[in-house]
Amino acid sequence: MAEMQRPYNETNSTIVCYAPTMITTNGIWQGDNPLDYSLPLFILQLTMVVVTTRVLVFLLKPLRQPRVISEVLGGVILGPSVLGRSATFAQTLFPLRSVMVVETLANMGLLYFLFLVGVEMDITAIRRTGKKSLAIALSGMVLPFVVGSVFAFFLYKSQGSMTLGTYILFFSLAVSVTAFPVLARILAELKLVNSEIGKIALSSALVNDMCAWILLAFAIALSENDSSSLASLWVILSSILFVVFCIFVVRPAISWMIQRTPDGETISEFYICLILTGVMISGFITDAIGTHSVFGAFVFGLVIPNGPVGVTLIEKLEDFVSGLLLPLFFAISGLKTDIRTIRHPSTWGYLFLVIFLACAGKVIGTLLMSLIYRMTVREGVTLGFLMNTKGLVELIVLNVGRDQEVLDVQSFSLMVVAAIIMTAIVMPVVTTIYTPARRFFPYKRRTIQSSKPDAEFRILVCIHNPRNVPTIINLLEASHPTKRSPICIYALHLVELTGRASAMLIVHNTRKSGRQALNRTQAQSDHIINAFENYEQRSGCVSVNPLTAISPYSSMHEDICNLAEDKRVGLIIIPFHKQQTVDGGMEAKNPAYQMVNKKVLANAPCSVGILIDRGLNGSTRLAAKSVSHHIAVLFFGGPDDREALFYAWRMSEHPGVRVTVLRLIIASEPAVMHASRSTNLNRYETLAIKANQEREKKLDEDLLKKFQIHTSNNESIMYIEKVVNNGEDTVAAIRSIESSHDLFIVGRGQGMTSPLTAGLTDWSECPELGAIGDLLASSDFASTVSVLVVQQFVGTEPQEDDLVVELGSMRRSTLDGEGPSDEQYQQMNRRQTPPPRGQNAFRPYTTDTN
């Protein structure tokens, strides 16, 4: 029993006897102890590992720590460093006889996880990284490798079969690697995946990871107990032969499976079973030739072609492998870690020196190369700390080194603790020195209202699937592109990021005709591109730039908003998240689309239009004198309605478009003071509301007066005013014209309420459309009328005119207990000059639209 009390990581010198028949118990009622049997004991161990890591994930979530930290710490807590100090705990829950079962399952989970990492890793991205990412990756790896080699030389202790060269190789490799999967998740958490620094970091980490795997294969080959160099040479040659076999035999075989799968269908279960069996065969082969089994699984995953196969494999495996089996491997690493071996002060000094030198090497190496490529010091330092992310690869290196007796218990524990600390400091340091939020710098003409009639009109259209294309093209043609005011279209195909580790924005060139698409996503992109290119060829005043954004739904809006800012567009058109069914109803195909739309509305640097597609009929080239579209504009007042009117005004110049403007006016205007008494507003806020109402009303009246003057002789435009009392009258007025129109353009009216829409928001299903937009998008209205809900871009900074300054000083005096004088009130009522177009200083205080 004395031997059973030895630490978990000293099993090499212990003889353990196994009882082959003691797998499952006969039950506690027959006097059996479940913990004496392999299966119940393993189930309890797995449960404890998963529960411990999940509790730590919850506790460390406020600190924004990656999951790998919680998983390794969970193993450390369960190991000899904390709970394992108790001999009773160690002998009962983690006895030495259970080591073989736990490690076997842990390595099986690791095998399939590395296969998934290989599937997610886009090997073609290395060719697209460019010189900058390649140079940063190499400089961020070479300098730490040299620093680690020097440090390992002084730390080396000659004992057993461990040679100095092998020890230096393992130690330096563990110091210099970057964990690509962990870094990808950190960047996603920091919202940096789509930023320039995020793309460089991911590309550099990808190169770093590939170099680490190659060096690990060499390290394992050189760590063989056979002192003959010939054995190591055979290991290296056979590993190269295995890689070649996977590239030229396995990859074509899987491509053949994909070609036999009809478009739109998932790959058959038979082929999936063949691929999963191939993972185990690859692991067996590489383990037999002397390389670690995970190397074979990783290479096998790398050769899986991009497309639906990778997506299917990840969907079937990821939750089970990542959530259940992989934590076992991290727990094993923690169980092998014995912090008690780092008891001497000098050893702790070595630990912090390792951390400092490794971090400094990464940061300095990355910073120097970043400065050469004219990046800022802050960006270089940020990149350096991001490249310090440790995780799976380093732990694999350390575990292999421990199993091969290259690293002793102290060195292994020291490096595991160093990896935890180095990864833990990445998030706090990066968030401190680098601000991930991107600022939208102001530029002119980012609304339809402020665009010049003789300038190019830029529109960004977002497309989820080819079904959105016909209506969008007809809408763009109705927007009246001319030689005087051509339309530049950026057609962005939105694709969810599944099966790849990094988001990307693809700019399409003209594809060679006849080339077969590799997968369904590319086939959809080709269909969309062809449709827009055909439209461009038939319309002489339109230029089309097709793009594809591949990113998770959580950050897809960043791609849209960043592209809108980079291309200086004036309008973003995004499809509604619901699609029309056969019976005319509206059904949500993907709820994630609604989240994307809400985030675009909140963050867009220009005006936005949400298109409810019910089929906008008409050809893409309208005849000069044939009426093809009847468009209705519902005008209640406010910036969004003015933007909708301006868009319809532009459309009215098209010879094939008729426009009806329906202005709804409240029968009796509510008094502001009544509203202020009901909401307990102070005098300052009441004054702000009244000033804003008068300002908005003046802007509405000026625009409508200008519109009527310029369109009085235009027979294609009809202007109607209707007086209504409440929401019911509003609905009746809209129903009176719905059957004679095929497109409604309405303002979203965000942040604004009115008696005209009273009661319409009580049963609102889609509040992002506003009260009227939600009403028109419901199944109660005509199934043949499409709707465009427009939101005008409003400046984020309040306008610093005299009115704002004076109200600000009045608010300060109010807060000090001194209200504004009657003379000031009279001055404010006389001075109600409107702000610049598209800006509203007091929008949050608006209570109605009149």
Predicted confidence (pLDDT) per residue in 598-618, tens digit: 999 998 989 999 999 887 764
- Distance (Å) of CA 514 to CA 15, 466, 560: 67, 19, 30
CA dist 829 → 288, 391, 691, 823 (Å): 88, 65, 7, 10
Average pLDDT (444-461) is: 83
**Which amino acid is present at 453?**
P
Q: Using an 8 Å Cβ cutoff, are 690 and 707 in contact?
A: no
Based on the number of CB atoms within 10 Å of its own CB, is 582 exposed (0-12), middle (13-18) or buried (19 or more)? exposed
Percent pLDDT > 90 in the chain is 17
CB proximity list for 512: less than 8 A, separation 6 or greater: none
Output 705 or 311, whichever has higher pLDDT: 705
Q: What is the largest CA-CA distance in the chain?
A: 104
Render pLDDT for 554-598 as a digit per residue (tens, 0 to 9).
888 888 988 888 888 999 999 998 888 777 778 887 888 999 999
Q: Are the C-beta atoms of residues 249 and 285 closer than 8 Å to each other? A: no
Split at pLDDT 50, 70, 90, the class of 495 is confident
Q: CB under 8 Å, gap of 24 or more: what pairs does 261-269 form?
A: 261/308, 263/520, 263/523, 264/520, 266/308, 266/312, 267/308, 267/309, 267/312
Task: Identify the band that residue 729 occupies on the pLDDT scale cut at 50, 70 and 90.
Answer: confident
Please name which of 762, 784, 787 lies closest in space to residue 576, comparing C-alpha atoms. Answer: 787
Is residue 704 within a helix (H) or strand (E), and if so which, with residue range? helix 683-711
Least confident of 34-48, 209-223, 271-285, 432-446: 432-446
Give the whole-angstrom CA distance, residue 834 versus residue 795. Answer: 14
* Share of the chain residues as helix, strand and coil, in percent rounded to the nearest 5: 60, 10, 30
Q: Say what the pLDDT of residue 796 is.
A: 44
pLDDT exceeds cutoff 90 at 797: no
Q: Calculate the CA 532 to chain-centre distance.
A: 27
206 CA to centre of own chain: 18
Listed in sequence order, the residues at least 6 apart from 818 whose beta carbon sits closer than 8 Å to its beta carbon are none
Contact status, residue 716 vs residue 658, Cβ threshold 8 Å:
yes
Question: Where do we find the tokens 């979203």?
Answer: 748
For residue 285, the model assigns a pLDDT of 95
- pTM to 2 decimal places: 0.63
